[in-house]
Amino acid sequence: MNEIIWPKGYLPGMTDNFASNEIIVANLSAAEVWDYLNDTSKWELYYSNVDTIRFYNVTGPELSQSAHFRFNTFGFPFEAEVVEYEPPTNDKPARLAWHGWEEGLTEDDALHVHHAWLLEDLPEGRIRILTQETQNGKIAKKLAETKPNPLINGHQEWIDGLAKAAAKQKRS
């Protein structure tokens, strides 16, 4: 199986917080799921922890390499820039990652994250949906100590909803 590509300063185990969520689902492909991840106008249809999505340097709602966008999540206004963008192909998994930061904080208090996605077709008509996020900053340290971890729970809702939305579309 493939793994996330980490930029310098965001390697899991070397950051203030890390979350990893993964599911494997039958009867779905990376291409079918990609549309629901790539098109941000669909996020609110299956994920309750996101709203107020807007783009700055592209029209959206589809993501693209270097797209700069903003959204609210986990109670934070968040800025993000897409740093990895590879739609799925017959021989390669889909890869999507953004660098994000909390809007309006000083550098000393800022939360910086690398949020990455991998949609990988597996044998026998299955898909692996993996999302991982590393975080740095004071807020990340506090989140890492919170039990249950809100990042892990929130991201689980996201990947479960993503798979269910794609499956529902496929059935219709």
Residue 156: which domain range?
A: 17-171
In a domain, 84, yes or no: yes
pLDDT confidence of residue 105: 66
Smallest CA-to-CA distance from 76 within 52, 107, 108, 44 is with: 52
Q: pTM of this prediction?
A: 0.95
In a domain, 100, yes or no: yes
Which stretches of the chain drop beneath a pLDDT of 50? Answer: none
In a domain, 120, yes or no: yes
Rounded CA-CA distance 137/150 in Å is: 16
Residue showing tokens 């299956």:
46
In a domain, 88, yes or no: yes
Rounded CA-CA distance 96/159 in Å is: 14
Question: What is the total count of domains within the chain?
Answer: 1
> Edge-to-edge, what's the strand order for the sheet holding 94-102?
17-26, 126-136, 112-122, 94-102, 76-86, 68-73, 50-55
In a domain, 155, yes or no: yes
Rounded CA-CA distance 40/71 in Å is: 10
pLDDT confidence of residue 1: 78
pLDDT confidence of residue 36: 97
Rounded CA-CA distance 18/64 in Å is: 25
Sequence-ordered list of residues with C-beta below 8 angstroms from that of 136, at least 6 positions apart, any chain: 9, 10, 15, 16, 17, 111, 112, 113
Rounded CA-CA distance 82/114 in Å is: 10
Rounded CA-CA distance 158/167 in Å is: 14
In a domain, 27, yes or no: yes
In a domain, 2, yes or no: no
Task: Find the CATH number of the domain harbouring 94.
Answer: 3.30.530.20
H helices of the chain, in order, are 30-38, 43-46, 138-145, 150-171
Rounded CA-CA distance 151/19 in Å is: 6
